[in-house]
């Protein structure tokens, strides 16, 4: 007489094999789903970083354009939208308080925004007192 383990006593030999295969298949499928989810999240994170870098580059180009125009024309007031390599950037109205000019620019790529504020104490030659990325204006 063949001795079977207690958990297989009332089951046909094929049922144990089938249940084992199903459990292993579910574990494998779960691992695949977890792996794909991790890859998708990493891809989204990389895209967000690339978009932020592009927005930052466009806002910086806009800032340099605004400083150049202000250096050439004391009446330059900003308040315009520029195209920078298929991206838009905005130069906000330039504020002069009698001692310094404050220039603010921003650009966006998808959901990523870059905003810069620069304070100039001299427009010719350009002297930058501060250049900072800000969360809001």
Helix, strand, coil content of the chain in percent (nearest 5)? 45, 30, 25
According to DSSP, residue 81 is labeled E
**Residue 70, domain member (yes or no):** yes
**Residue 3, domain member (yes or no):** no
Q: CA distances (Å), 7 to each of 13, 14, 15, 21, 94, in order?
A: 11, 14, 12, 17, 81
CATH of the domain at 116: 3.30.1300
**Tokens coding 127:** 């002297």
**Residue 119, domain member (yes or no):** yes
**Residue 41, domain member (yes or no):** yes
**Residue 5, domain member (yes or no):** no
**What does R_g of the chain's alpha carbons equal in angstroms?**
31
Q: Which domain holds residue 111?
A: 13-133
pLDDT value, residue 63:
96
**Residue 4, domain member (yes or no):** no
**Residue 17, domain member (yes or no):** yes
pLDDT value, residue 1:
57
Helices (H), the chain: 13-72
Per the structure, the count of domains in the chain is 1
**Residue 76, domain member (yes or no):** yes
pLDDT tens digits in sequence order for the chain, 137 residues long: 566 666 656 666 678 888 889 999 999 999 999 999 888 888 777 788 899 999 999 999 999 999 999 999 999 999 999 988 788 999 999 999 999 999 999 999 988 999 999 999 998 898 999 999 999 98
pLDDT value, residue 95:
95
pLDDT value, residue 86:
81
């Amino acid at each position: 007489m063949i001795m079977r383990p207690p958990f297989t006593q009332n089951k046909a030999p094929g049922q144990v094999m089938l249940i084992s295969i199903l459990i292993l298949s579910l574990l494998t499928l779960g691992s695949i789903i977890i792996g794909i989810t991790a890859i998708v999240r990493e891809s989204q994170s990389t895209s967000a970083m690339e978009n932020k870098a592009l927005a930052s580059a466009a806002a910086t180009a806009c800032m340099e354009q605004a400083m150049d125009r202000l250096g050439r024309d004391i009446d330059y007031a900003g308040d315009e939208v520029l195209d920078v390599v298929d991206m838009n950037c905005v130069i906000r109205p330039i504020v002069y308080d009698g001692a310094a000019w404050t220039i603010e620019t921003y650009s966006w790529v998808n959901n990523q925004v870059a905003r810069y504020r620069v304070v100039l104490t001299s427009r010719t030659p350009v002297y930058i007192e501060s250049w900072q990325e800000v969360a809001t204006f």
